[in-house]
Amino acid sequence: MTTTESDAPTAAGSGSSASQAFRTAAREATAVPPERVDEVARAVLAGVHQAIREHDVTYPEFQAAKQWLMDVGEGGEWPLFLDVFVEHVVEEVAARTQDGTKGSIQGPYYLPGQAKLPWQAALPMRPGEKGTPLVFTGQVRDVAGDPVAAAELDVWHADDDGYYSGFAPGIPDGNLRGVVVSNGHGWFEITSVRPAPYQIPTDGPTGKLIAAAGWHAWRPAHLHLIVRAPGYRTITTQLYFPGGEWLDSDVAEATKPELVLDLRPQEDGPLRAEYDFVLERA
Ligand code: MBD
Ligand code: FE
């Protein structure tokens, strides 16, 4: 499928922009000892060998797979592909030792260094930003139930068309991104717009695999957060809307029942959503 043939919105170039963001992210160099490389690389290869034997994979299929792997690299979609199809298991392993609020995958669209905002703030948005106005409130506490003041809530989310600033073209830098700092009671109140569900770009190799396999390309609407405070273990997570489409079939398998927002019943005004975060000591 090409962009012009598709009637669904596509985030042209979002997948490859994610490669650029990954390369420029400050990351600690990890020296992996040879025994560990041996053990894990061997297991990965054994899994591939097993799939080939079990499914009688042919030479033409092997060559098609090789071509596709080259396309993913050349299209810059490895961060997109790996975060959609693999990261959830890495998070599952990390979660084995984690207390407090559940984590979820970071995904490919985080950008550090966003504007610091007071506890009660609107995320940067375009004049007349399209979508349902959203007010997201809550409290940051520690596992003992005491408020955590000056916690940073590093928030980012898609717009009403499902696009992320910094990745899809034509959106101002920093749109719907910000670092909100909790007050003395641990409270925060973030004004934004409700994000739309996210569709994996259909015009790249990741989208082509999804179409070729007959899968769907959707993630439920979500807010991304990194919550951090000095002395506490940082939580990277996502929050979802109750009853949201794709909540039970997220292509990235990154939903958890504990990560659904509480929507406050209301007659009019903005959509009001609540969530409290619990941090454990680092
Ligand atoms: C997203 O918005 C996202 O959160 C993930 C995990 C993968 C692709 C797009
Ligand atoms: Fe996302």
User: 254: CA distance to ligand 1 center in Å?
Assistant: 9
- For ligand 1, is residue 261 a contact (CB within 6 Å)? no
Q: Is the CB of 176 under 6 A from ligand 1?
A: no
Cα–Cα distance for residue pair 28/22, rounded to 1 Å: 13
pLDDT per residue rounded down to tens, the chain (282 residues): 333 333 444 556 888 889 989 988 878 888 999 999 999 999 999 999 999 999 999 999 999 999 999 999 999 999 999 999 999 999 999 999 999 999 999 999 999 999 999 999 999 999 999 999 999 999 999 999 999 999 999 999 999 999 999 999 999 999 999 999 999 999 999 999 999 999 999 999 999 999 999 999 999 999 999 999 999 999 999 999 999 999 999 999 999 999 999 999 888 899 999 999 999 999
Asked whether 83 lines ligand 1 (CB < 6 A), one says yes
Ligand 1: does its nearest atom lie under 6 Å from the Cβ of 210?
A: no
- The contacts of residue 65 (CB under 8 Å, 6+ apart) are 57
pTM over 0.75: yes
From residue 94, give the alpha-carbon distance in Å to each of 78, 89, 90, 250, 282: 21, 9, 6, 20, 14
Q: How far is the CA of 108 from the centre of ligand 2 (A)?
A: 8
The predicted structure's pLDDT at residue 29: 82
Q: Which residue minimizes the CA distance to atom 5 of ligand 1?
A: 107
Which residue ranges form the domains of the chain, and what is each CATH number? 10-21+33-279 (2.60.130.10)
122, 175 Cβ separation under 8 angstroms: no
107 CB near ligand 1 (under 6 Å):
yes
DSSP string spanning 8-67?
Answer: S---TTHHHHHHHHHHHS--------HHHHHHHHHHHHHHHHHHHHHTT--HHHHHHHHH
Residues with CB under 5 A from ligand 2 (ion): 107
- The pLDDT assigned to 25 comes to 86
The per-residue pLDDT for 13 is 81
Altogether, the residues listed in the chain come to a count of 282
Atom of ligand 1 nearest to the CA of 252: 6
Which of 10, 84, 167, 240 has most ligand 1 atoms within 8 Å of its beta carbon, as the pocket-test mutant?
84
E runs forming strands in 182-220: 187-193, 198-199, 218-219
What's the pLDDT score for residue 10? 52
CA-closest residue to ligand 1 atom 3:
107
Q: Is the distance from the beta carbon of residue 205 to the nearest atom of ligand 1 less than 6 Å?
A: no
